[in-house]
Structure 1
Amino acid sequence: MKAMILAAGKGERMRPLTLHTPKPLLPVGGKPLIQWHIERLARAGLRELVINHAWLGEQLEARLGDGTSLGVRIRWSAEDEPLETAGGIRRALPLLGEQPFVLVNGDVWTDFDFARLQLPTGMLAHLVLVDNPPFKAAGDFLLQGGRIANPGAGEQADAMTYSGISILSPRLFDGLGEGPQPLAPLLRRAAEQGLVSGERHTGCWVDVGTPERLQQVDQLARET
C-alpha cells in the first residue's frame, strides 16, 4: 500500500516562520515535522510515498530527495498553484495507482499507528477522528457503530474532528474535474451514501497550525 503526505499548504498562520521555510520542514524535536510522519509510515511498512508541494516545494525535494536516507521511496507531485486537498490528491492519482492509499496531513503531529489502518470492503474511505481540540469547538463528523455520518441539526456537539489521517479509495475521486477543490464535500457525500467507516484515536494528536502549537509539539517530541 502507498501513502500520500499533504505538504502543499502555505502555512499562513505560521508566519513569519514560513516566509522562507515550508511548514513541513519546521523543526520538531530536532528534525523536520514531516520526517516524523515518514518514519512512522516506514515503521508501519508503508515505504512507497507520494508527497505534494507548492510553496517553497523545492526546499522539500532538496532536503528529502528520493527518501533513500529515510528508508522509503518518495515520488513528488508538484503543484504550480494551490489545488486544495482533493485537487492535490487528484493530481497525484497517477502516482498513487488504483489501490486504496493512506492519506495524512503533513501539518499534524501524532503517535497514531498507521499499521492499524484498513479500508473495509465496499467503503470509499476510512477516517480517523479525534476529540475536538480546545481551538475547535464544533466537530466534523459523527462516529456511529464504526460508520461515519454527517451531523444534523442539534448533533454538532456530538461530532468529532477529522484528524487528517485516513485511508481512501481512488474511486472516491471518480468524476472529479481538475483545479482547486476541497476534500470535505467528497467525504460528506460518501458518508451520506453509507460508504465511509471510521475510528477514534485517543492518543496524542496536535494540529500544528500556529507557532505556539509548534512549540508544544517540539516539547512533546523531546519528551518522547
Structure 2
Amino acid sequence: MRAMVLCAGYGTRLAELTRDVPKPMLPVNGRPMLELILLNLVHHGFRRIAINLHFMPEVIRAHFGNGAPWGAELVYSHEPELLGTAGGVRQMAEFLAAEGDFLVQYGDVVTDQDLSALREVHRQHQALATLLLHQRPNSNSVVSLDAEQRIVGFLERPSDAERAGVASPWVNSGVCICAPEVLDLIPAEGACDLPRDVFVKHVSGGRLFGLPLTGQRVAVDSPRRLDLLRDLAASGRLRIASPGMA
C-alpha cells in the first residue's frame, strides 16, 4: 500500500517559526518533524510515499532525496498553486492507486499509532475510507460513530446551529486510508478539501469508518504544540521508529 504526506501548506499559525523553513522541517530534538512521520510509515510497511510541496520545496527535497536512508522510496509533487488536501491527492492519483488502497497523512500530524490496525479495519469493512480518530471536545471537526465504528455523522467546521445536539467527542486525526474510488469523488479542478468536499458528502453511503487513536498524536498547529511534541519525543512517550526496525 502506498502513502502520501501532505506538506504543501505554509504553517502560518506558527508565525516566525515557519518564516524561513517549511513547517514539516521544524526540528524535533535534532530531527525534522517529517522524518518522524516517514519513520512511522515505513515501520508499518508504507515505503512508497508521495510528498506534495509548495513553500520552499527545495529544502525538503534536499534533505530527504529519494528517501533511501529512511527505508522509503519518495516521489514529490510540486504545487505552484495550493490545491488543498483533496487536490493534492488528486494530482498524485495514478501513483497512489497503483497498489489499490492508499494512506494519506497530514504533514503536521505526528503519531506513533499502529497503522497496521488502521489498515486491518479498512480491509475488514471494505471501506471507502477509514479515518484515525481522537477525542477532543469543541473541535472544529466532529465525527459520530455507531457501535460498529461506522461514521454516521461528520461535521467539518460546523456553525453553532449545526453543532447543537451533537455530543460526540470524536474528531478527525489527519490520517486515513482510502479506497481508490475516493479519487473519483474528488472535484476535478481547483483547490478542495478531503474531509469537507469528499468525506462529509459521502457519510450516507455507510462506507466511512473510524479507528480510535491508541498511540500518541500531536498536530503541530501552534508553538505550544511543537513544544509538546518535543517533550513527548525526548521523554520516550512518543515511540520513534528507526530505519529497518521490524
Smaller-chain TM-score bracket: over 0.9
Deviation at 1:157, TM superposition (A): 2.5
Task: Tell me the SS of whatever aligns to 1:203.
Answer: coil
- 1:196 matched to 2:196: no
Kindly state the Cα deviation for residue 33 of structure 1 after the two structures are TM-superposed.
Answer: 0.4
Structure 2: 5+ residue runs without aligned partners? 155-161, 237-246
The count of residues paired between Structure 1 and Structure 2 equals 222
User: Once the two structures are superposed, what CA deviation does each residue of 1:65-99 show, in whole Å capped at 9, x if it has no partner?
Assistant: 01011111001111011111001110111221241
1:116 aligns with 2:126: no
* Identical positions, percent: 33
| Aligned residue number for residue 143 of structure 2 | 141
Does the CA contact (< 8 Å) of 1:138 and 1:160 recur in 2? Answer: no
2:12 maps to 12
Distance in 1 (CA, whole Å) between partners of 2:189 and 2:7 is 19
- Distance (whole Å) between structure 1 residues aligned to residue 84 and residue 140 of structure 2: 22
Scaled by the length of structure 2, the TM-score of the pair is 0.85
CA distance change for structure 1 residues 212 and 5 in 2, over 3 Å: closer, same or farther? same
Are residue 160 (structure 1) and residue 170 (structure 2) matched?
A: yes
Q: Give the TM-score normalised by the residue count of structure 1.
A: 0.93
Within 2, Cα distance between the matches of 1:187 and 1:74?
Answer: 27
- Greater displacement, 109-118 / 78-87: 109-118
Q: Does 1:129 align with 2:129?
A: no
1:144-178 Cα offsets, whole Å, 9 max, x none, are: 12101215764432141100011011211215212
- What is the RMSD of the two structures over their aligned residues, measured on CA atoms? 1.7
Query: Could you list the runs of 5+ residues in structure 1 that have no partner in the other structure?
Result: none
After TM superposition, the runs of 4+ consecutive aligned structure 1 residues lying more than 3 A away are 136-139, 151-155
Cross-structure match for 2:157: none
Amino acid at match of 1:147: R
* Contact 1:132/1:161, CA 8 A, preserved across alignment: yes
Structure 1 CA distance, aligned partners of 2:86 and 2:169? 22
- Rounded Cα–Cα distance in structure 1 between residues aligned with 2:129 and 2:181: 9
Moved more, 53-62 or 112-121: 112-121
Aligned equivalents of 2:172 and 2:163: distance in 1? 19
- Check conservation: 1:52, 1:78, Cα contact below 8 A: yes
Residue equivalent to 1:97: 97
Summarize the alignment of residues 1-224 of structure 1 with structure 2, pairs less than 5 Å apart.
1-98=1-98, 99-118=100-119, 119-120=122-123, 121-132=125-136, 136-137=138-139, 139-144=141-146, 145-150=148-153, 154-174=164-184, 176-184=187-195, 185-224=197-236
The whole-number CA distance in structure 1 between the counterparts of 2:45 and 2:37 is 12
SS in 2 for 1:17: helix
Against the structure 1 CA distance between its residues 38 and 161, is the aligned structure 2 distance closer, same or farther, given a 3 Å change threshold? same
Question: What is the rounded CA distance, in whole Å, between the counterparts of 1:92 and 1:69 in structure 2?
Answer: 23
> What is the one-letter code of the residue matched to 1:45?
G
- One-letter amino acid of the counterpart of residue 128, structure 1: L
Given residue 199 of structure 2, which amino acid in structure 1 is its aligned partner?
L
Cα shift at 1:215: 1.0
Q: 1:181 is matched by which residue type in structure 2?
A: C
